[in-house]
Amino acid sequence: MDWLLAVRFDFDTVGDFLFDPIILRAMRETLTIAVLAMALGIGLGVVLAVMRVSHNPVAVVFAGLYVWFWRATPVVLQLLIMYFGMRQLIEDDLFRDNWTRFRAAVITFALNEAAYMAEIVRGGIQSVEAGQMDAAKSLGMTNLQALRHVILPQAFRVMIPPTGNEFIAMLKNTSVAFAIGVVELLNAAKIQSARSFKVMELYTVAAFWYLVMVSIFSLLQAELERALTVSERDRPETLLSRAMGLVAGRRGL
Amino acid sequence: MRYSKLGRFTLILGALALVSALALAACKDDDDKDKTPAAEETPAGDETPADGADAIDISSVPELEDGVLSAGSDIAYAPIEFYIEGTETPDGVDVDILNAIGEALGVQVEFINTGFDGIIPALQTEDYDVIMSAMTITPERTAEIDLVPYLNVGQGVLVPAGNPGNILGLEDLCGLTVAVQLGTIQVDILNEQNAQCDEQMTIVTFDTNPLAVEDLRTGGSDANFADFPVAFLDAEESDGTLELVEPAPNPQPYGIGVRKESTELKDVLADAVQAIKDSGTYDEILAEWGLESTALP
């Protein structure tokens, strides 16, 4: 069995670092960046999607170019350009003081995410039957009113699963912000392991917390999907609903 | 219609497969090319070293049975190790010294580019035979691996031209932001200094030293802390925008890292370092890089 764990693995180190304040602080950084960037990305993505399905040729072309540009380059390269490049370009102290690593990371991830969200929202809008728009207009609604009150609420349900995927991807992708010196979960683990050489031990700690975060958000996403399902029959069962069913004495799973 | 659609689908799949096969083949070609420069520089395995008289016996060294000494190195640390501009050929004082050692041992030398923060674990999992990567010998590192000393190098602090923070020693870095490379001795030195600071300094770490220097250049940090020859070259090549201060001229030896169990390899490497010193090759290499002051005492 000497091929197994040929290089020693120190389980005590994993235990020591699992609740280390440095690691927990870094996890908060990961969550903050991901949540802020996702919120901004969704907002901007909706605007871009509406531009893309509009009848204004300038808006259509702009949104198309935007999506093309931000999807065509790796996000780590975008980070390097947005942080180092912008600071090199604008040698103004006021700008440099305000263009911090954290802000550059949030904005870059948000701008990148907006491109993907625009496509998801567009797909959602186009999944709603064209007749719905006609019906809304025949009631005297303007295009934007119809979009807001009729189309988007229905598109929303279609968009939930892919948006959840995007958020989970975002949580993990924040790790590339290390390129510009942001200390989030994986990189806090890297920094600690560089001092102690307990590399796999620290990677295990990071993996554990990513699993915990992603699991929690996956459960929340399932609940959200259940809550947004209109017909009782199609409503998907979730862990929580099954557990509640069991408690309430409902039969079967 | 069904069949023709299926046919088109198959055609697309086939084209995709062909493209990926070509891409893979291209990668393989590149791999081969990578190896040729090193192979040309050093003599083949069975040749006797130039100064044959005191040839080193490597027959008992398992790592060298294949006639190749493979070295892990973070090749982004000019002038110690770097890629010649526009090529994938490694160069630098480390590269020259290890090639000379390979010549003395009668083996080929192969450099493998590796991130510095994972360079010791990768040696332990046998990704390569040795580490040749400007590695300062520290107690923490010698607890993990053995190191054969071959250079003696001090530290340097890089600041914006004119030294606006008036930094003369490490203690002047307190309260400032310092950019360094992850996993380096400089991180440890700064952490030690931080323990004595009233106002804590912010230590920002990067995967490579050039990124840390870029952070200083764009004003994200107030100083960069690196090995002296590296900081010296960075200052020289900065078009006068950066300046070098030498706060603690406290040279410490670099070592060639080997696994704890590689005792035979460690012995022949020490012999080879001695051999190139005796033959004068060592001094020639240092003179060529202007690093005579880093010679081992």
pLDDT at A228 (0 to 100) = 78
Q: A81-118: per-residue pLDDT in tens? A: 999 999 989 888 889 889 999 999 999 999 999 999 99
pLDDT at B39 (0 to 100) = 42
Instruction: Give the residue-averaged pLDDT of B225-230.
Output: 93
B252/B131 Cα distance (integer angstroms):
17
pLDDT at B52 (0 to 100) = 45
Asked whether the beta carbons of residue B205 and residue A87 sit closer than 8 angstroms, the reply is no
Upstream peptide bond of B79 is cis (omega within 30 degrees of 0): yes
Show residues of chain A in contact with B140, CB under 8 Å.
195-197
Give the strand pairing for B177-181 and B155-160: unpaired
Q: A134-165: per-residue pLDDT in tens? A: 999 999 999 889 988 998 888 888 899 999 99
pLDDT at B250 (0 to 100) = 77
Instruction: Please state, as a whole number, how many other Cβ atoms lie within 10 Å of the Cβ of residue A105.
Output: 27
For residue A175, what are the CA distances in angstroms to A179, B81, B207? 9, 28, 13
Q: How confident is the model at residue B28 (pLDDT cuts 50, 70, 90)?
A: very low
Q: Which residue has the tokens 């990668």?
A: B27
Instruction: Give the residue-averaged pLDDT of B70-87.
Output: 94
Q: Testing the interface with A: which of B138, B182, B241 to mutate, by most A Cβ within 10 A?
A: B182
Asked whether the beta carbons of residue A197 and residue B144 sit closer than 8 angstroms, the reply is yes
B119/B96 Cα distance (integer angstroms):
20
Where is average pLDDT lowest: A53-67, A195-209, A220-234, B167-181? Answer: A220-234
Average pLDDT, chain B: 85
E strand map for B50-135: 68-73, 82-83, 90-91, 108-113, 130-131
Instruction: Give the residue-averaged pLDDT of B219-240.
Output: 93
Give the strand pairing for B252-258 and B130-131: antiparallel
A128/A154 Cα distance (integer angstroms):
7
Question: What totals of helices (H) and strands (E) does chain B contain, helices first?
Answer: 9, 12
pLDDT at A242 (0 to 100) = 80
Q: Does A199 touch chain B (CB under 8 A)?
A: yes
User: Closest approach of chain A CAs to the CA of B223, in angstroms?
Assistant: 14
Instruction: Give the residue-averaged pLDDT of A16-33.
Output: 95
A155/A148 Cα distance (integer angstroms):
10
Asked whether the beta carbons of residue A87 and residue B182 sit closer than 8 angstroms, the reply is no
Q: B263-276: per-residue pLDDT in tens? A: 999 999 999 999 99
Instruction: Give the residue-averaged pLDDT of A2-14.
Output: 73
Instruction: Give the residue-averaged pLDDT of B37-47.
Output: 43
Give the SS3 label for residue B186.
helix
Cβ atoms of residues A135 and A151 within 8 Å: no
Q: Which residue of A has its CA nearest to B216?
A: A84
Predicted TM-score (pTM) of the model is: 0.78
Angle, vertex CA A93, rays to CA A87 and CA A97, nearest 5:
75
pLDDT at B13 (0 to 100) = 59
Q: How many residues does chain A have?
A: 253
A88/A70 Cα distance (integer angstroms):
21
Q: How confident is the model at residue A124 (pLDDT cuts 50, 70, 90)?
A: very high
Nearest beta carbon to residue A84 from set B182, B204, B214: B214
pLDDT at B16 (0 to 100) = 59
Region class of B280: left (phi > 0), else alpha (psi between -120 and 50), else beta? left
Q: B186-212: per-residue pLDDT in tens? A: 999 999 999 999 999 999 999 999 999
Asked whether the beta carbons of residue A96 and residue B182 sit closer than 8 angstroms, the reply is no
Asked whether the beta carbons of residue B215 and residue A178 sit closer than 8 angstroms, the reply is no
Going by the DSSP 8-state scheme, the letter that residue B221 receives in this structure is -
Asked whether the beta carbons of residue B121 and residue A197 sit closer than 8 angstroms, the reply is yes
A55/A223 Cα distance (integer angstroms):
36
Instruction: Please state, as a whole number, how many other Cβ atoms lie within 10 Å of the Cβ of residue A21.
Output: 7
Give the SS3 label for residue B222.
coil
Tokens of B285: 């290499």
Q: How confident is the model at residue A72 (pLDDT cuts 50, 70, 90)?
A: very high
Which residues on chain B place their C-beta less than 8 Å from a C-beta of chain A?
117-118, 120-121, 124-125, 140-141, 144, 179, 182-183, 187-188, 191, 204-207, 211, 214-215, 217-220
Asked whether the beta carbons of residue A194 and residue B182 sit closer than 8 angstroms, the reply is yes
pLDDT at A194 (0 to 100) = 80
Q: Which residue of B has its CA nearest to A84?
A: B218
Instruction: Give the residue-averaged pLDDT of B119-147.
Output: 94
Show residues of chain A in contact with B142, CB under 8 Å.
none
pLDDT at A152 (0 to 100) = 86
Instruction: Give the residue-averaged pLDDT of B248-253.
Output: 78
Instruction: Give the residue-averaged pLDDT of A37-58.
Output: 94
Q: Which residue has the tokens 């993505």?
A: A45
